[in-house]
């Protein structure tokens, strides 16, 4: 994404009014969200004692990483013009499956990780089959899969939570490498790989092409169905990963875990500049969106704002972000 | 009716026509021999034979459902003929897929140009055939945007145009988009470019622009087939043309041997007034 050079806005005295308005709009569109983010951080640093402490910052990023994994997968799906509502249920199902394979008295690590992770692509495959093969709209297909997957999580544990897991498995959510919590390291790794895949690889280019104009993608020989399958597999895998990290963090799994996470992830992705119509978006934007929501929620907690107001404020941020994104310069 | 601009264009054209390949002696680049195509009970093509010379501009005329598009879909590997032969450089070929036709240098430029508006010019030109750099002995391959940008600039310059390859296609005019679509074909060594209704999505200076483009392509040794129902366009740019009607070729002409009025009658009735008078005698 190319941004408008700052000097263009301030040095061209000969710009007409309409031109100047458009330039200011582009400035807001390109940098507005970053300014809002920095404003929130500065504001909270001044108004509270506890915001800008190492513990709190680490806490924000660690908490955000769960929605972060999901939002990164969702970004791939939304760039193709799709949506995946099943990711919250995948968090629940992968969590209980992994937890059931990691009892407290064992050293289980690889088995719960691998089997729990496999839940995601399996659900993603069903999503893709319904969308690509049966031609059902992504919203409806993944809505149905969302319900079915949640049902399976409840059936699997008979509606009961699973608690007390193996310490080795718990390390994924509560361990640290040096001073840095494992979930943060995992989030950074996933974000860097995803950003590379979208921006620098042929696959990423084809994801954008399918979202921009599926017909022209097909004409030039891009396997459109294969690309669609891939993005739903990725979204499922990352949602399952989020479920595993969450389960490991709280040392237990609830079949209802992750309820509503799909909407938080979609909000973060949209705040980060990804278009619901496909073809536009980035991992960097999504990470910023995830962190912005994390900072706002944390800040409002620190300021003792009631949770009713918190949700209202998050809705407001979503609207502002959507309006700002309209003004992006390209 | 010929518009004044079209007349001017036509006379400019006749000056350049002698630069063109001598149709009577040269070997055709592509020959279509007795092509038939049926979709169930419907005979879309009934024994069509045509040839296309290297570097020439050929217009394929006809009403809707005359079979023009079906014929071109066969030539680009989208459909396979029910029977008949396609020859490239005199050698029989089978185009099972669009990729097979493309590998032989036959490219299609669609009426809507089939570009991804959300991507930049260089990404569109190389879409599906991206250039990549290898690292770690080919283990990691990343897009080589710089190389694609340089090559995109070259193909655009070959069309006598100048555009920043990093511009999003969304920002381009109809004419610029057409140039990108043609640039995409050129970047992959097209020898024959089929243009479907090439002026349908252009706003201004339509015919002149098309004439410029076909001249440039001729100079590059690239042949052009224009599918159109606009006579002024065909008369302005093409050295030869064929008229199709109900799945058959009903007329084949060199520019200058026939009037627009005669061709128009051929398109709508299948015969010219002249032919009818002869038959009546």
Whether the per-residue pLDDT at A304 is higher than 70: the answer is yes
User: Are A252 and A99 contacting, i.e. CB atoms less than 8 angstroms apart?
Assistant: yes
More confident residue, A8 or A41: A41
Q: Which of B146, B69, B152 is nearest to B115 (CA)?
A: B152
Determine the topology of domain A6-325 in CATH. ABC transporter involved in vitamin B12 uptake, BtuC (1.10.3470)
Whether the per-residue pLDDT at B233 is higher than 90: the answer is no
Q: Read out DSSP for A233-275?
A: HHHHHHHHHHHHHHHHHHTEE-TTTTTTHHHHHHHHHHHTT--
Min distance B58 CA to chain A CA atoms (Å):
23
Instruction: Give the residue-averaged pLDDT of A90-119.
Output: 96
* Pairing mode, strands B91-93 and B83-88: antiparallel
Share the mean pLDDT of chain A: 92
Q: What's the pLDDT at B273?
A: 57
Q: Rounded to 5 degrees, what are φ and ψ at A201?
A: -110, 160
pLDDT tens column, A246-260: 999 999 999 999 999
**Cα–Cα–Cα angle for A222, A199, A281, rounded to 5 degrees:** 90
Instruction: Give the residue-averaged pLDDT of A219-248.
Output: 96
CA B158/CA B162 separation, integer angstroms: 9
User: What was the ipTM of the complex prediction?
Assistant: 0.85
Residue B80 per-residue DSSP state: -
Of A205, A212, A217, the CB nearest to B130: A205
Contact check, Cβ <8 Å, B130/A279 = no
Close Cβ partners of B207 (under 8 Å, ≥ 6 residues apart): B5, B6, B9, B199, B232, B233, B236, B237
Share the mean pLDDT of chain B: 84
Instruction: Give the residue-averaged pLDDT of A84-89.
Output: 98
Question: What percent of chain A shows pLDDT beyond 70?
Answer: 95
Q: What's the pLDDT at A327?
A: 83
Instruction: Give the residue-averaged pLDDT of A92-99.
Output: 98
**Cα–Cα–Cα angle for A159, A162, A165, rounded to 5 degrees:** 170
Instruction: Give the residue-averaged pLDDT of A287-313.
Output: 92
Name the residue of chain B whose CA is nearest to A220's CA. Answer: B128
Q: Kindly report the pTM of this predicted structure.
A: 0.86
Q: Residue A147: pLDDT band by 50, 70, 90 thresholds?
A: very high
Residue in the structure block whose two tokens are 């969106």: A289
Instruction: Give the residue-averaged pLDDT of A174-203.
Output: 96
Q: Which of A64, A121, A326 is nearest to A238 (CA)?
A: A121
Question: What percent of chain B shows pLDDT beyond 90?
Answer: 47
Contact check, Cβ <8 Å, A220/B118 = no
Min distance B171 CA to chain A CA atoms (Å):
8
Of A2, A221, A280, the CB nearest to B118: A280
CA A209/CA A207 separation, integer angstroms: 5
Q: Residue B209: pLDDT band by 50, 70, 90 thresholds?
A: confident
User: Are A290 and A67 contacting, i.e. CB atoms less than 8 angstroms apart?
Assistant: yes
CA A322/CA A127 separation, integer angstroms: 27
Burial (CB < 10 A; 0-12, 13-18, 19+), residue A307, is exposed
CA B184/CA A38 separation, integer angstroms: 43
Instruction: Give the residue-averaged pLDDT of B201-228.
Output: 83
């Amino acid at each position: 994404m190319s941004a408008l050079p700052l000097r263009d806005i301030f040095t061209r005295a000969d710009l007409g009014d309409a031109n100047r308005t458009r330039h200011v709009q582009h400035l807001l569109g390109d940098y507005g969200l970053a300014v809002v983010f920095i404003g929130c951080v500065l504001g909270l640093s001044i108004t509270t004692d506890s915001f800008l402490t190492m513990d709190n910052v680490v806490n924000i990023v660690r908490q955000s990483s769960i929605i972060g994994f999901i939002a990164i997968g969702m970004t791939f799906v939304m760039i193709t013009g799709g949506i995946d509502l099943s990711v919250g249920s995948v968090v629940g199902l992968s969590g209980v499956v992994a937890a059931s394979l990691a009892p407290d008295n064992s050293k289980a690590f690889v088995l719960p990780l691998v089997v729990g992770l496999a839940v995601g692509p399996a659900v993603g495959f069903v999503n893709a089959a319904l969308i690509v093969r049966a031609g059902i709209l992504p919203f409806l297909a993944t809505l149905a899969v969302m319900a079915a997957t949640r049902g399976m999580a409840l059936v699997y544990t008979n509606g009961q939570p699973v608690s007390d897991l193996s310490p080795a498995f718990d390390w994924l959510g509560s361990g640290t490498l040096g001073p840095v919590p494992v979930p943060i390291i995992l989030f950074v790794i996933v974000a860097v790989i995803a950003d590379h895949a979208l921006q620098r690889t042929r696959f990423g280019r084809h994801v954008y092409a399918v979202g921009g104009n599926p017909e022209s993608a097909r004409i030039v020989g891009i396997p459109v169905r294969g690309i669609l399958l891939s993005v739903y597999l990725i979204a499922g895998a990352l949602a399952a990963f989020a479920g595993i990290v969450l389960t490991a963090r709280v040392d237990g799994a609830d079949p209802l875990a992750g309820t509503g996470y799909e909407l938080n992830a979609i909000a973060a992705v949209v705040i980060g500049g990804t278009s619901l119509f496909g073809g536009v978006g980035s991992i960097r934007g999504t990470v910023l969106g995830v962190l912005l929501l994390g900072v706002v929620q944390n800040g409002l907690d620190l300021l003792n704002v009631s949770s009713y107001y918190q949700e209202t404020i998050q809705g407001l941020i979503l609207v502002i972000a959507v309006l700002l994104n309209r003004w992006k310069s390209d | 009716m010929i518009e004044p601009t079209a007349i001017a264009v036509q006379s400019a054209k006749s000056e350049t026509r002698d630069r063109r390949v001598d149709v009577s002696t040269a070997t055709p680049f592509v020959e279509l021999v007795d092509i038939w195509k049926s979709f169930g009970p419907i005979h879309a093509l009934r024994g069509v034979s045509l040839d296309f010379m290297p570097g020439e501009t050929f217009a394929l005329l006809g009403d809707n459902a005359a079979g023009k598009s079906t014929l071109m879909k066969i030539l680009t590997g989208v459909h396979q003929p029910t029977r008949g032969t396609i020859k490239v450089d005199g050698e029989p070929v089978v185009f099972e897929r669009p990729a097979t036709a493309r590998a032989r240098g036959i490219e299609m430029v669609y009426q809507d140009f089939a570009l991804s508006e959300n991507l930049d010019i260089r990404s569109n030109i190389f879409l599906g055939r991206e250039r990549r750099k290898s690292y770690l002995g080919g283990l990691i391959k990343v897009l080589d945007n710089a190389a694609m940008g340089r090559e995109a600039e070259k193909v655009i310059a070959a069309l006598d145009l100048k555009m920043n390859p990093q511009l999003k296609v969304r920002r381009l005019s109809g004419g610029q988009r057409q140039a990108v679509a043609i640039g995409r074909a050129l970047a992959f060594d097209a020898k024959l470019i089929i243009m479907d209704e090439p002026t349908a999505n252009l706003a201004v200076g339509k015919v002149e622009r098309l004439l410029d483009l076909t001249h440039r392509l001729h100079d590059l040794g690239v042949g052009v087939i224009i599918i159109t129902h606009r006579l002024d366009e065909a008369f302005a740019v093409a050295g030869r043309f064929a008229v199709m009607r109900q799945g058959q070729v009903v007329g084949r002409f060199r520019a200058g041997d026939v009037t627009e009025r005669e061709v128009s009658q051929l398109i709508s009735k299948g015969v010219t007034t002249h032919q009818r008078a002869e038959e009546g005698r």
